[in-house]
A and B are shown apart, each in its own frame.
Chain A
Amino acid sequence: MGLVVLLGSFAATLLLGVPVAFAMGISAALTFWFEGLPLLMTFQRTISGISAFSLLAIPFFIFAGELMLHGGIARKLVNFAGTLVGHVRGGLGSVNILSSMLFGGISGSAIADISALGSLLVPAMKERGYRADYAVNVTVTSSIAGIVIPPSHNMIIFAIAAGGGVSISKLFLAGVVPGILMCLCLAIAAYVLAIRHNYPSETFPGWRAVLVAAAESLPGLVTAIIIIGGVLSGVFTVTESGAFGALYALALTGIVYRSLSREDFRLAVVNSVRTTAMVMILIGFAASFAYLLALYQVPAQLSDTLLSLTQNKILILLMINLMLLVLGMIMDMAALILICTPIFLPIARSLGMEPEQFGIMLLVNLGLGLCTPPVGTCLFVGCVVGRIRIEEAVRGIWPFYIAIAGALLLVTYVPAVSLGLPGLLGL
Chain B
Amino acid sequence: MTAPNRLTAGLDVVLRLLRNACLVVASICLVVLIASFGWLVFGRYVLNATPTWVEQLSLLLVGYITFLGAAAGVHDDGHLGVSFLRDGFGPRVSSVLRSVSDLIMTGFGLVMFTASTELVRFGWSSQLPMLNLPEGMRAIPAATCGLLVALFCGVRALRRMLGDAPATDAFLLENL
* A residues adjacent to B (C-beta < 8 A): 13-23, 25-26, 29, 38-40, 42-44, 46-47, 50-51, 53, 55-56, 59-60, 63, 115, 236, 239-240, 243-244, 246-247, 250, 266, 269-270, 272-274, 276-278, 280-282, 284, 330, 332, 373-375, 377, 380-381, 384-385
Instruction: State whether B79 touches A278 (Cβ < 8 A).
Output: yes
Instruction: State whether B176 touches A385 (Cβ < 8 A).
Output: yes
Closest B residue, CB atoms, query A23: B81
A274 to B72, CA, bound (A): 8
What are the residues of chain A within 8 A of B63 when measuring CB–CB?
47, 50-51
Instruction: State whether A20 touches B34 (Cβ < 8 A).
Output: no
Q: How many residues on B have C-beta within 8 angstroms of the other chain's C-beta atoms?
A: 57
A269 to B23, CA, bound (A): 10
Residues 114-144 of chain B, each 1 if its beta carbon lies under 8 Å from chain A, else 0 = 0110110010000000000000001100100
Instruction: State whether B139 touches A273 (Cβ < 8 A).
Output: no
- Given A17-B83, A25-B108, A276-B66: 5 more A-B contacts, CB < 8 Å: A16-B97, A20-B80, A50-B62, A269-B27, A273-B23
What are the residues of chain B within 8 A of A381 when measuring CB–CB?
176
> Which listed residue, A17, A23, A42, A250, touches B97 by the CB 8 Å rule?
A17
What are the residues of chain B within 8 A of A284 when measuring CB–CB?
66
Instruction: State whether A47 touches B119 (Cβ < 8 A).
Output: yes
Instruction: State whether B41 touches A272 (Cβ < 8 A).
Output: no
Q: List 17 A-B contacts (CB under 8 A).
A: A17-B83, A20-B80, A21-B80, A38-B115, A47-B139, A50-B62, A56-B33, A56-B62, A59-B33, A244-B41, A270-B23, A277-B67, A281-B70, A374-B82, A380-B80, A381-B176, A384-B176
Interface SS, B side:
helix
What are the residues of chain A within 8 A of B82 when measuring CB–CB?
14-15, 17, 20, 330, 374-375
Evaluate whether A273 and B115 lie within 8 angstroms (CB atoms) in the complex, with A17-B86, A19-B80 already known.
no
> Which listed residue, A26, A247, A250, A277, touches B69 by the CB 8 Å rule?
A277
Interface SS, A side:
helix
Evaluate whether A273 and B69 lie within 8 angstroms (CB atoms) in the complex, with A240-B37, A247-B34 already known.
yes
Evaluate whether A273 and B65 lie within 8 angstroms (CB atoms) in the complex, with A247-B38, A375-B81 already known.
yes
Distance (whole angstroms) from the CB of B108 to the closest CB of chain A:
5
Distance (whole angstroms) from the CB of B45 to the closest CB of chain A:
8
What are the residues of chain B within 8 A of A20 when measuring CB–CB?
79-82
Instruction: State whether A13 touches B55 (Cβ < 8 A).
Output: no
A332 to B81, CA, bound (A): 9
Evaluate whether A59 and B65 lie within 8 angstroms (CB atoms) in the complex, with A17-B81, A17-B85, A21-B70 already known.
yes
What are the residues of chain B within 8 A of A47 when measuring CB–CB?
63, 119, 138-139, 142
Distance (whole angstroms) from the CB of B95 to the closest CB of chain A:
11
What are the residues of chain A within 8 A of B52 when measuring CB–CB?
none
Distance (whole angstroms) from the CB of B61 to the closest CB of chain A:
9
What are the residues of chain B within 8 A of A59 when measuring CB–CB?
30, 33-34, 62, 65
Distance (whole angstroms) from the CB of B71 to the closest CB of chain A:
8
* B residues adjacent to A (C-beta < 8 A): 23, 26-27, 30-31, 33-34, 37-38, 40-41, 44, 55, 58-59, 62-63, 65-70, 72-74, 78-87, 97-98, 100-101, 104-105, 108, 111-112, 115-116, 118-119, 122, 138-139, 142, 149, 172-173, 176
> Which listed residue, A38, A63, A247, A278, touches B30 by the CB 8 Å rule?
A63
Distance (whole angstroms) from the CB of B118 to the closest CB of chain A:
5
Closest B residue, CB atoms, query A49: B66
Distance (whole angstroms) from the CB of A279 to the closest CB of chain B:
9
A375 to B85, CA, bound (A): 12
Closest A residue, CB atoms, query B149: A22
What are the residues of chain A within 8 A of B70 when measuring CB–CB?
21, 277-278, 280-281
Evaluate whether A26 and B37 lie within 8 angstroms (CB atoms) in the complex, with A21-B70, A375-B80 already known.
no
What are the residues of chain B within 8 A of A115 when measuring CB–CB?
176
What are the residues of chain A within 8 A of B40 when measuring CB–CB?
240, 243
Distance (whole angstroms) from the CB of B157 to the closest CB of chain A:
13
Evaluate whether A281 and B115 lie within 8 angstroms (CB atoms) in the complex, with A43-B142, A53-B59, A247-B38 already known.
no
A284 to B138, CA, bound (A): 13
What are the residues of chain A within 8 A of B67 when measuring CB–CB?
277, 281
What are the residues of chain B within 8 A of A274 when measuring CB–CB?
23, 69, 72-73, 78
A23 to B63, CA, bound (A): 20
Evaluate whether A277 and B34 lie within 8 angstroms (CB atoms) in the complex, with A20-B79, A384-B172 already known.
no
A280 to B149, CA, bound (A): 16
What are the residues of chain B within 8 A of A25 when measuring CB–CB?
108, 112
Instruction: State whether A377 touches B80 (Cβ < 8 A).
Output: yes
What are the residues of chain B within 8 A of A42 when measuring CB–CB?
112, 115
Instruction: State whether A15 touches B86 (Cβ < 8 A).
Output: yes
